[in-house]
Chain A
Amino acid sequence: MAIISVQGLRKAYKSKGKKKGGIVEAVQGIDLTVQKGEIFGFLGPNGAGKSTTLKMLSTLLSPDGGKAIIAGFDLLAHPARVRRQIGYVSQAGGADGSATGREDLHLQARLFGLSRDHARARANELIDALDLAPFVDRFSRTYSGGQRRKVDIALGMVHQPAVLFLDEPTTGLDPVSRAQLWNQIRLLRSGGTTVFLTTHYMDEADALCDRIAIIDTGKIVAEDSPAGLKRSISGDILSLTVNHVKDAVQISRETLKDLDFVREMSVEGASLTLVVTHGGEAIPIVLRLLEGRGVGVADISLSRPSLDDVFLRMTGHSLAKE
């Protein structure tokens, strides 16, 4: 069952700064569907329109056009109703430095209409569920990044929303906190919450999300499960780096481009990335051919397609190298 369905959603800004006066089409008419109970990832580089989309879906920003139904309510017609069904955690977080985590949870619950007793009980529930007890009664300005992020997420959860929007939840976290947060997010899913998150980390999208939409310059270029997206590139990825001799890259490109097992090739600096039919058979042939042309190979490796390869193919540029 679809819990979010979006059609033609768009938003343009007047640009500030250098290109002042122009119009930036931050989100250019996107369609997407999120199923109930899944972790849906929005993958794209900074400035692709991820946050803008999330702000529109969480009622903070009014769309210029399009249609969105969230948890059964029309976003444009009834933003206030949508607001009760969703939780939103911005990139910045939300915990107030001059309050304790518990006070913040309590306030947030009260603002969602819970009575004093209910708010207190709900705060305790969240403190247990997200393991906040060791620090929740300290001022949140003293928290570590990981602790703060947990409280931020708890704040988005006080009213038991059907959908939780998380904008770049793991940006700036150390690897341990990041792994913990992934587990927390999976727990939310097993509790029936639909999670919609944005990320620019491919490994995160790959490991955590049930389905992904890839967004670049305000447009969705692909939407599928991570495995499905990777399957769309059939074959293996052969990466090689050639020695920095004059024309080595140029010679390699010309030597390899017409081979029948090479499906795609892209070049960045001294590195070539090829999509080949059978990696194991391709390696010796490639090495032999390049040797014959006097090109030294510094490094060669074979891998299964990654989301970055999908991204590269869909957008023409690599996300990992930004």
Chain B
Amino acid sequence: MRFFTDFRLLFIRSVKGSLRNPVWLFLGLFQPALYLLLFAPLLQGLGSIPGFPAGGAYAVFTPGLLVMIALFGTAYAGFGLVDQIRAGVVERLLVTPASRLAILLGYVMRDVVVLLIQSCVIIAIALPMGLSVSLPGLLVTFAMMVLTGTLMASCSYALALILKREDSLASVLNTVATPLLLLSGITLPLTLAPKIIRSLASVNPFAYEVTASRSLFVGNFADSAIKVGIVFLASLALLAFIWAARSFRKGTA
């Protein structure tokens, strides 16, 4: 019971803090929105190419953008934590009897909520441009986004607690996120890729997520990438959360 009360208090506080700086919420959307407005139209002529998934340019491209916000938005959540460590806020929370897990979860779930809000905005922009999406498919996609958000935010917090500096955190994140993004086929489907890239992508959870979301958007629930993607992401999200929790417990010394 205490756990849920503490979690709720900390979660509300974090969400409030984020809503007070909405500019960050929208800055994170600037790049994906540009891709949607200026790049996605280029794909419209490619629908007839062999290997190009069904559903039209926007059903193919929008799922990739959702993953992009997670990789280049949520993954940077650790910056906020470095700031909070520096201001003594984290230590101040750690000396209370509140559970460490509740403290961490309060931060992580805030990032998940931010990611979901951003995803909704992207979908809202894409719909009038010609995206048609299956509603049950979209809901499952959002469930995957919850896992992705948990994964990215947890990793980012674990790294922030280890590195404790914005500059080193930025270089680590960039180094990891860029290949993950390129190997997930967000701009163009990996079905068009040479074999070597496809085999590299086969160990990238985000590649499954993008493929799975594309199928979900057109209502194709039979795609095996959906199951693989969900299991893959859920296990990684769990591991990442444990990693972050352990880094948290080791303290902020």
Contact = CB atoms under 8 A, between A and B. Distances in A.
Interface in B186-200: none
A61 interface: yes
Interface in A45-81: 52, 55, 58-61, 80
Interface string B1-29: 01001100110010011001100000000
B91 interface: yes
Contacts of B20: 98, 139
B136 interface: no
Interface of B: 2, 5-6, 9-10, 13, 16-17, 20-21, 84-89, 91-98, 251-253
Size band of the interface chain A makes with B:
20 to 34
B91 A111 contact: no
Contact of B97 (A60, A61, A80, A155): A80
Contact of B87 (A94, A103, A107, A113): A94
B14 to A, nearest CB: 9
A155 B87 contact: no
Contact of A61 (B87, B92, B251): B251
B9 A92 contact: no
B78 to A, nearest CB: 17
Contact of B6 (A89, A111, A155): A111
B253 A61 contact: yes
Given A60-B252, A61-B253, A83 B95 contact: yes
Contacts of A93: 87-88
A96 B87 contact: yes
Given A55-B253, A83-B96, A96 B84 contact: yes
Contacts of B92: 88-90, 94, 108, 155-156
Which DSSP category, helix, strand, loop or mixed, fits chain A's interface? mixed
B83 to A, nearest CB: 8
A99 B88 CA distance: 14
14 contacts: A55-B253, A60-B94, A60-B253, A83-B96, A88-B95, A89-B88, A90-B92, A94-B88, A96-B89, A98-B17, A103-B16, A107-B9, A111-B98, A113-B2
A90 B97 CA distance: 17
Contacts of A55: 251, 253
A89 B87 CA distance: 11
A304 interface: no
Interface in A137-165: 139, 152, 155-156
Which 6 pairs from chain A and chain B are nearest by CB?
A92-B88, A94-B92, A98-B17, A111-B96, A94-B88, A90-B88
